Amino acid sequence: MSDTASPFSTTSPRDGSTLSPVRATEPSDLPAIVGAAHRAQELWAARPLEARFEALRAFKGRVLDRGTELATLISLETGKPEVEALLAEVLATADVVDAWCKHIGPWLEDEPVALDATSYPKKEAWIARVPRGVVAVIMPWNYPLALPLRTIVPSLLAGNAVVFKPSEVTPRVGAFIGECFQGLLPDGLFAVVQGGRDVGAALVADRIDLVAFTGSVAAGRKVAASCAERFVPCSLELGGKDAAIVRADADLDRAAAGIAWGAFTNAGQNCAAIERVYVHESVAAPFLEKLIATVKSLTARDDMGSLTTEAQLAVVQRHFDEAVQKGAEVLTGGSAEGLYFAPTVLRITDERCSAVEEETFGPLLPVMTVASDDEAIARANACRFGLTGSIWTRDEAAAERMASKLRTGVVTINNHSFTGAIPLLPWTGIGETGTGVTNSHHALDLLTRPRTILVDRNSAPRELWWMPYGTALAPIARALLTLKRPGSSIGEKLRAVLALLTHLPKRWRGLPLPKN
């Protein structure tokens, strides 16, 4: 919750306690902050990669040393259980730093390009990865540590500076990240700016070289439009409406347990939460029995925390009420106490409702039956989002065939969602999920840009194609066209070779000598 004078959360969703005050960054301060980042970035990019590793490993050590304190802070600001904060966020810091430090070196190496020695004699070329410069990282509140670090860590290791704006709902975790970087990086290289939408908009409009944004579709469109005006690249992850498909041959015990976790971890406040289940009609009854038993075994606030904001509670309540009005059967849950909304399973018959069509971002799980794999794929794909999806089955070959048809960026078989925590696997989507890519070497396509470097060791006074063209170049060009054209006959090619042998010496003799 927020008071009228400040954009920041002031009361903990976990226990109602008062949270410490936060000072907002004035939008007018941003040009100086971004300018300092540009100056620091040039020095940082010149440092050896091993020096960057050392700084990030020291950062990791600080986070882990204060891991319990940090998990408590995350829990206070988001409402999630502390053990969930430890597992999904604090420990993930070690994985993301270790993986990037281990693998980014080869990924940043120059890429040699083999040139045709006949067409380009005595020339050598390679492609270098160049840091973007200053990266604006604007992140949401649901995973206030893990999500930003997935971009911050590789951005810094690739030689960029970072200006980070955490959500106004979780500003204290953002400040904690800044504290852990203090003294490890050049002054100005990493900055935390605090505030609401006005600060975010001002940051995007400043002298930024890349914007990495995770948030709503509506906000993502505004970011994309602002970046497009200045031809600044942006990485957008804007949500999901993930589907789980339960085939007739699935291990129903594992499917029920895994889908319950996928739907209700972080109280469903996860862009990759399972928000739709399509179960084969032949196993729907036993699957639902096991799923309901699993959900009923969850303990409030220990296994599943509260929703983080009153606004999110309102969305969940609206989706629930509409589904019930359209005939949904409440199999378990459906009640709210404060910001805690009980994990809820609905049997849906009318899919034309927001609980099926819109991102809920809460502990609401619609379940629908299907008669075949093809029907399950078609209904799963009938969605404007496309982040992740899962298939639950004992038949891996069938699952792989189905996976190739799912309109998503990530597919898991007999599990869900967790691959976002694996730094070597790309996390991306299609449709209104956005254009962003985090994790793996593919993320470097955004965090760096390619630069071609060519060295010419040719000592000839002129290249074949340089001016003046003279009279010999035109027949040479026509002969080369004949040789390259697929439809040329053998006779035409032989005449072209003869023309080259005739005119190339004339071309070289006709070149003027360089003046002294």
Averaged over 139-156, what is the pLDDT?
Answer: 98
Using DSSP bridges, classify how beta strands 134-138 and 161-165 pair: parallel, antiparallel or unpaired: parallel
Which residues does 358 contact at the CB level (< 8 Å), separation at least 6? Answer: 241, 319
Closest CA to 250 of 297, 284, 204: 284
Say how far residue 166 (Cα) sits from the centre of its chain.
Answer: 16
- 295: which 2 tokens? 């959900």
Mean pLDDT check: name the lowest of 18-22, 381-385, 466-470: 466-470
Count of Cβ atoms closer than 10 Å to residue 419 Cβ = 17
Count of Cβ atoms closer than 10 Å to residue 91 Cβ = 16
Q: What is the length of the chain?
A: 516
Averaged over 415-419, what is the pLDDT?
Answer: 95
Indicate the Cα dihedral angle 357, 143, 90, 69, nearest 10°: -130
Averaged over 174-186, what is the pLDDT?
Answer: 98
CA–CA separation, 75 vs 81, rounded Å? 6
DSSP 248-303: TTS-HHHHHHHHHHHHHGGGG-STT-EEEEEEETTTHHHHHHHHHHHHHTPPBTTT
Q: What are the tens digits of pLDDT across the range 11-26? A: 999 999 999 999 999 9
What's the pLDDT band for 511 if we cut at 50, 70, 90? low
For 319-350, give one letter per residue: b (16+ CB within 10 A) or e: bbebbeebebeebbbbebeebbbbbbbbbbee
What's the pLDDT band for 470 if we cut at 50, 70, 90? confident
488-493: long-range pairs with CB below 8 Å, 24+: none
pLDDT of residue 2: 40
Closest CA to 263 of 378, 345, 333: 345
Domains of the chain: 30-238+441-451 (3.40.605.10), 242-422 (3.40.309.10), 461-510 (no CATH)
DSSP 451-487: EEEEEE---SSS-TTPSP-TTTHHHHHHHHHHHH-TT
pLDDT of residue 3: 42
3-state secondary structure 236-256: EECCCCEEEEECCCCCHHHHH
What is the share, in percent, of the chain residues with pLDDT greater than 90? Answer: 93
Say how far residue 361 (Cα) sits from the centre of its chain.
Answer: 18
Say how far residue 20 (Cα) sits from the centre of its chain.
Answer: 31
**3-state class of 416 per DSSP?**
coil
pLDDT of residue 390: 98
Residue 4 has pLDDT above 60, yes or no: no
Better-scored residue on pLDDT, 468 or 12: 12
What is the share, in percent, of the chain residues with pLDDT greater than 70? Answer: 98
What's the pLDDT band for 298 if we cut at 50, 70, 90? very high
CA–CA separation, 376 vs 488, rounded Å? 52
CA–CA separation, 382 vs 293, rounded Å? 29
What's the pLDDT band for 506 if we cut at 50, 70, 90? confident
Which element (helix H / strand E) includes 123? strand 123-131
Q: Find where tokens 């593919």 sit.
A: 442
Sheet hosting strand 234-237, strand order edge to edge: 190-192, 161-165, 134-138, 210-214, 234-237
Which residues is 341 bridged to in the sheet?
A: 336
Averaged over 235-262, what is the pLDDT?
Answer: 97
pLDDT of residue 5: 63
Q: What are the tens digits of pLDDT across the range 41-76? A: 999 999 999 999 999 999 999 999 999 999 999 999
CA–CA separation, 336 vs 514, rounded Å? 86
pLDDT of residue 423: 97
pLDDT of residue 459: 87
Which residues is 357 bridged to in the sheet?
A: none
Residue 127 has pLDDT above 70, yes or no: yes
pTM exceeds 0.85, yes or no = yes
Closest CA to 343 of 420, 245, 269: 269
Q: What are the tens digits of pLDDT across the range 196-208? A: 999 999 999 999 9
Mean pLDDT check: name the lowest of 131-135, 211-215, 510-514: 510-514
**Cβ atoms 432, 241 nearer than 8 A:** no
Peptide bond before residue 468 is cis, with ω within 30 degrees of 0: yes
Active-site residues, by number, are 237, 271
